[in-house]
Structure 1
Amino acid sequence: MVAAANAIYVVTIVLYSLSVFGYFFDFMQTSRKVNRIAFWLLSIVWVLQTVFFVIRALQYDRLPVITPFEGLFFYAWLLVTLSLIINWFFKVDFFVFFTNVVGFIIMAFSLVTPDGDVPVELNDLLISELLVIHVTLILLSYAAFTTSFAFSAMYLLQHQLLKRKQYGKKLLRLDNLSKVERLSFLVTTIGVPCMLLGLILGFVWASIQLGTLPWLDAKVIGSAAVLIMYSVYLYLWVVKQQRGYNMALVNTAGFLLVFINYFLSGELTEFHFWNV
């Protein structure tokens, strides 16, 4: 089972890289044929990721989202899943490319992350339904915010093309600004409650299992900053009715906080010694 999982993982990485390269080629040269090939490669990647996920779940008899390797893999799987679903329903050109550039970077990070199981001495502490739900919700919020960033990146690109009056094939394939902006907002409305619930469950788990609340932990502070940033974004959208270029910049700043919180604060945290 382990050998099969490793083989699937390697093939997944290779096919994922080919898919992203295909989308990049289509982005630069506008090739519908290459775009279709890249899409089917990405679909195969999703199937292989799902098979790997199931094999690991059976191997360790738990939902594999706890360790750093599993967190990165699940994050990448969520991005592939969301990009395929949204592209299926909304047919937004270049969206899959923007999303899966980030997804592939996440997957690439997993290559240098230890892929072992939870340490035996921490098994009883970490194998908890409450903790698994906490981690799953946080990663789902990260995936939603990443997807929202992809739409904002498309908005910023189209805005610049229009500003410079570069009316080419690339501009024609980008959806109208209002649609991209609205989709960015809708995905953010999923991410914010997921992160809020995830943080609450994390505090509940810490209170029950550790008897303490890690208010000053770097990861907790970073997550709170992310939640505040995106809450401000929703406030500006819903209450202040703000739209346009500056809102896309606010969304992009929020995504940068997500990336910093996931990777940088993970090196500084003392409480989150396993994953997110």
Structure 2
Amino acid sequence: MFEQTMTRLHELMIVLYAISILFYFIDFLNKNRKANMFAFWLLAIVWALQTIFLFLYMMRTGRFPVLTIFEGLYFYAWVLITLSLAINRVLRVDFTVFFTNILGFIIMAIHTFAPVQVESNAMAEQLVSELLLIHITMAILSYGAFSLSFVFSLLYLLQYKLLKEKKWGPRLWRISDLSKLEKGAYILNAAGVAMLLLGLILGLQWAVIKLPDFIWYDPKIIGSFILLIIYSVFLYLRVRKEVYGKNLALLNIGAFLVILINFLLASRLSSFHFWYS
């Protein structure tokens, strides 16, 4: 009964999410404030339903839901929606909200229509640990920060192209200025690197303690450290070398592709992160 209710709840969220993105797209094309507000409140309903589901799931399982790929994708989508709602109300960067929600919708759809693996949930029950929970939660939060930074860089390149081609118009002004987009990407990456570093430290500490057959050259571990190095290079170039502009935005977009590979592919090849498989 619980599973059936949750399935219907997810289907309702997908429908509402799709309608919300549709209205954001109308606002994207025509600067329609009514469509923007309607999209925002629909998204707020989706967020509320997601939050209710998280609490119900936690009450049912007795733990924070991040230990399987099924749970991790859902929490990732929740983080993206939360960030997009905050941006919409605080920063008023409309196009950032639109593209963030497209990304969030893709993650949510993958989660909703992927088969639930009972074995993964059973394995997760055996791996419950406060250290592990903090490690995974911080890693997913860092991915959320990097994802939003990716959106800022994507909009930076779009704005750069419009300015270079001298395509003036209302869409140009709504994207926000280049300096604001670049600064937003930098701040988010700085926060993401800090959370990822702490998450990796905690995760390695847990693995050394709990896993007798732990190997350091695991694909997931290597991918995570590569990711940390790439984003650290981004921060180094931005702070020490004072590199700005298009090249830095391209590096940020490339780094996000590494995130997708690490999150979706390396986890399945990993013997260390076997509860994600």
- TM-score for the superposition, normalised by structure 2: 0.94
Which residue pairs with 1:105 in the alignment? 106
Q: Distance in 2 between matches of 1:125 and 1:71?
A: 17
Tell me, in whole angstroms, the C-alpha distance in 2 between the residues paired with 1:64 and 1:120: 10
SS in 1 for 2:94: coil
Partner of 1:49: 50
Post-superposition shift, 1:9?
1.6
Q: Which amino acid aligns with 1:137?
A: M
Could you say what the CA RMSD is over the residues aligned between the two structures, in angstroms? Answer: 1.7
- Tell me, in whole angstroms, the C-alpha distance in 2 between the residues paired with 1:124 and 1:15: 32
After TM superposition, list the pairs within 5 Å mapping 1:127-166 onto structure 2: 127-166=128-167
Q: Does the 8 Å contact 2:10/2:112 carry over to 1? A: no
CA distance in 2, matches of 1:43, 1:120: 29
Which residues of 2 match residues 217-236 of structure 1 at below 5 A? Answer: 217-236=218-237
Measure the CA separation in 2 of the matches of 1:216 and 1:92. 41
- Structure 1 residue 214: Cα displacement: 2.7
| Contact persistence 1:76–1:104 (CA under 8 A) | yes
Instruction: Name the CA shift for 1:62/1:20 in 2 (closer, same or farther; >3 Å).
Output: same
SS in 2 for 1:94: helix
Aligned 8 A contact 1:22 1:38 in 2: yes
Is 1:201–2:202 an aligned residue pair?
Answer: yes
| Change beyond 3 A, Cα 1:117–1:65 | farther
What do the CA deviations read for 1:118-144 (whole angstroms, capped 9, x no partner)?
A: 657635641111111111011000000
Tell me the residue number matched to 1:78. Answer: 79
Aligned partner letter, 2:114: T
Cα distance, 1:176 vs structure 2: 0.9
Contact 1:219 1:265 in 2 (8 A): yes
Q: Could you tell me the TM-score, scaled by structure 1's length?
A: 0.94
Aligned to 1:93: 94
Unaligned runs of 5+ in 2: none
Report deviation, 1:182: 0.6
Among the aligned pairs, what percent are the same residue? 49
Deviation at 1:213, TM superposition (A): 3.9
Matched residues in 1 for 2:266 and 2:121: separation?
25
Offset of residue 81 of structure 1: 0.6
Q: Contact (CA 8 Å) 1:214, 1:220: kept in 2 or not?
A: no
Change (3 A) 1:82 1:117: farther
Paired residue secondary structure (1:140):
helix
CA distance in 2, matches of 1:86, 1:51: 22
1:1-276 alignment, distance < 5 Å? 1-116=2-117, 119=120, 122=123, 125-275=126-276
